[in-house]
């Protein structure tokens, strides 16, 4: 079966993509200390470029250089200043050698209350719009995503289940779940596994950012966006979904400010709009710049789809060329962030399409080419993104294009990627043991042109001699 709609080119700003298939932004935890990219990141992205993706969106790279930016332990990549540019330029080059694959950097001003600098730097609360701490309900997390439950069960030390049966946990009443004894038990147990996991569930109380700190972050986003494009990135994505810092400003549940950055939607959206305008001013009208928005926060009191559509419309006015769609936030992570099945996120595409007067819309959460093609043909989706499926099979696009669909290594939604990433800060895939180890298999990502013919000629001049 041919899936022609997936292989039609599309233009965003002045960037032409050869097809409609993108790697979704994913933190895979391979960064070197201090957020530097490395050989493994290069091999990870180049493998997927070779696999035929038209666009790779990097994991969120932090432009925020301050101690209060967020999680060090989750190993986020950084893009704070020139020290980070050298290795990124090698990655860009390796990706570009593969038949015009494009690469966008996802830039983040910080993790806000979803970050927890306290783990690495005791006494440092994260900077957020307001002092509202995160509280994830584990009952929801496990109930709605069986893969999370299965993986977490494997991590529990022998004997723990006698005192904490996860199925029992799901069915606990509020009274039992929030009782001091049970919360203390969870805290002890999870902190033992990993102090950071505990901080994911009950975040530290954040500190309210001052206005000079906010405008400083806006300026930093603009400078780093400009430098990223100058370095060779094809596009910039602003990291604004999932309850991270920009989303926290948007959400009435997380933003209780009384100044011009809080209250009305216009005020809550000011941080994002200033970032977009400041970037646009620095990079000119044609470069592809877009933001990622949760279609809906999916929790009471949060920002919902009607308001997010207004945000998308404002973002278009401020200068974005596309919208990347996601959903949920950490607090609503159970079903929201990376659910089972496929096609769940297409429900937000039509709203964003209409609100932005037809801007290109990118949507993740696919497994099969048939479902992906349906989204493009009938559901207002222009570019499909593969997140976990691209971890399972970096060669999905080429297999689909050459009629070898049956050979696709299928993502089973087992959530090992998430949980291993959380627990070990190094992502692995249950169905593809090569994921995370691509650097050891250059046959996957090196070919005659990867580093150019000049380099290949030079290598030939130096190889093949007997050992003396």
Ligand X SMILES: Cc1cc2nc3c(=O)[nH]c(=O)nc-3n(C[C@H](O)[C@H](O)[C@H](O)COP(=O)(O)O)c2cc1C
Residue 256 to residues 9, 201, 209, 302, 445, Cα–Cα distance (Å): 43, 21, 12, 12, 48
Determine the 3-state secondary structure of 55 from DSSP. strand
Q: Which residue is nearest to ligand X (CB)?
A: 387
Burial class (CB in 10 A: 0-12, 13-18, 19+), 207: middle
Q: Candidates 24-32, 40-48, 371-379, 443-451 — which segment interacts with ligand X by CB under 6 A?
A: 24-32
Closer CB to ligand X, residue 227 or residue 237? 237
Candidate list 104, 279, 314, 386; residue touching ligand X; CB under 6 A:
386
Candidate list 126, 294, 308, 389; residue touching ligand X; CB under 6 A:
389
**Cβ of residue 343: shortest distance to ligand X, in angstroms?**
9
Site string for ligand X, 291-310 (x = CB under 6 A): -x------------------
Q: What are the φ/ψ torsions at residue 376 (nearest 5 degrees)?
A: -70, -40
Strand locations in 282-351 (E): 289-294, 322-326
CB 22 within 8 A of CB 56: yes
Residue with the two structure tokens 């919360």: 183
| Count of residues of this chain found to bind ligand X when the rule CB under 6 A is applied | 22
CB 405 within 8 A of CB 383: no
Residue 417 CB neighbours (<10 A): 28
Binding positions for ligand X, 73-112, rule CB under 6 A: 106
**Cβ of residue 123: shortest distance to ligand X, in angstroms?**
27
C-alpha–C-alpha distance, residues 422 and 118, integer Å: 17
Question: For 230, how many CA atoms within 13 A lie in the half-sphere containing its CB?
Answer: 13
Site string for ligand X, 152-191 (x = CB under 6 A): ----------------------------------------
Q: Candidates 19-27, 168-176, 186-194, 273-281 — which segment interacts with ligand X by CB under 6 A?
A: 19-27
If binding is defined by CB under 6 A, does position 387 make contact with ligand X? yes
Residue 439 CB neighbours (<10 A): 18
Closer CB to ligand X, residue 106 or residue 356? 106
Candidate list 63, 376, 417, 419; residue touching ligand X; CB under 6 A:
417
CB 16 within 8 A of CB 48: no
Beta strand 10-12 with 15-17: parallel, antiparallel or unpaired? antiparallel
Residue with the two structure tokens 């950490």: 330
Q: Candidates 33-41, 252-260, 352-360, 387-395 — which segment interacts with ligand X by CB under 6 A?
A: 387-395
Closer CB to ligand X, residue 13 or residue 364? 364
Binding positions for ligand X, 216-275, rule CB under 6 A: 239, 241
Candidate list 332, 376, 427, 444; residue touching ligand X; CB under 6 A:
427
Q: Candidates 32-40, 112-120, 130-138, 416-424 — which segment interacts with ligand X by CB under 6 A?
A: 416-424
C-alpha–C-alpha distance, residues 55 and 107, integer Å: 16
Q: What are the φ/ψ torsions at residue 108 (nearest 5 degrees)?
A: -125, 135
**Cβ of residue 138: shortest distance to ligand X, in angstroms?**
19
Closer CB to ligand X, residue 130 or residue 416? 416
Candidate list 17, 338, 372, 419; residue touching ligand X; CB under 6 A:
338
Which of 366, 370, 328, 360 shows the shortest CA–CA distance to 344? Answer: 366
If binding is defined by CB under 6 A, does position 148 make contact with ligand X? no
Residues that bind ligand X (CB under 6 A): 24-27, 59-60, 106, 239, 241, 292, 326, 338, 364-365, 386-389, 417-418, 421, 427
């Amino acid at each position: 079966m041919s899936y022609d709609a997936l292989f039609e080119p599309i233009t965003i700003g002045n960037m032409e993509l050869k097809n409609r298939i993108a790697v979704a932004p994913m933190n895979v935890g391979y960064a070197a200390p201090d957020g530097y990219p490395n050989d493994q990141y290069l091999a990870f992205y180049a493998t997927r470029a070779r696999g035929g993706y038209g666009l790779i969106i990097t994991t969120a790279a932090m432009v925020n250089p301050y101690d209060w930016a967020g999680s060090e332990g989750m190993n986020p990549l950084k893009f704070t200043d020139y020290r980070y540019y050298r290795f990124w330029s090698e990655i860009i080059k390796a990706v570009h050698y593969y038949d015009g694959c494009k690469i966008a950097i996802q830039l983040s001003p910080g993790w806000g209350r979803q970050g927890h600098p306290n783990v690495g730097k005791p006494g440092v609360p994260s900077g957020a719009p307001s002092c509202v701490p995160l509280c994830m309900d584990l009952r929801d997390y496990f109930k709605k995503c069986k893969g999370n439950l299965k993986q977490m069960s494997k991590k529990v030390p022998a004997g723990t289940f006698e005192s904490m049966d996860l199925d029992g946990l799901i069915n606990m009443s509020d009274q039992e779940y929030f009782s001091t004894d049970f919360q203390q038990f969870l805290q002890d147990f999870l902190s033992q596994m990993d102090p950071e996991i505990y901080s994911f569930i009950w975040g530290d109380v954040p500190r309210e950012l001052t206005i000079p700190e906010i405008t400083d972050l806006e300026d930093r986003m603009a400078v780093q966006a400009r430098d990223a494009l100058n370095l060779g990135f094809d596009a910039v994505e602003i990291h604004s979904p999932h309850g991270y810092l920009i989303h926290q400003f948007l959400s009435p549940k997380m933003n209780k400010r009384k100044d011009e950055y809080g209250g009305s939607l216009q005020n809550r959206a000011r941080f994002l709009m200033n970032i977009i305008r400041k970037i646009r001013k620095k990079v000119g009208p044609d470069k592809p710049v877009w933001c990622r928005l949760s279609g809906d926060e999916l929790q009471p009191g949060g920002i919902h789809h009607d308001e997010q559509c207004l945000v998308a419309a404002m973002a278009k006015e401020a200068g974005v060329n596309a919208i990347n769609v996601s959903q949920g936030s950490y607090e609503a992570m159970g079903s929201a962030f990376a659910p089972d099945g496929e096609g769940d996120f297409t429900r937000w595409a039509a709203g964003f399409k209409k609100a932005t007067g037809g801007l290109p819309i990118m949507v993740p959460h696919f497994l099969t080419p048939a479902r992906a093609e349906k989204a493009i043909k009938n559901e207002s989706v222009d570019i499909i993104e593969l997140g976990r499926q691209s971890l399972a099979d970096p060669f999905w696009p080429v297999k689909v294009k050459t009629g070898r669909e049956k050979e696709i290594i299928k993502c089973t939604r087992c959530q090992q990627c998430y949980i291993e990433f959380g627990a070990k800060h190094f992502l692995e895939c249950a169905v593809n043991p090569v994921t995370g180890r691509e650097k050891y298999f250059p046959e996957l990502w090196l070919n005659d042109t990867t580093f150019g013919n000049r380099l290949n000629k030079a290598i030939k001049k130096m190889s093949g001699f007997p050992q003396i």
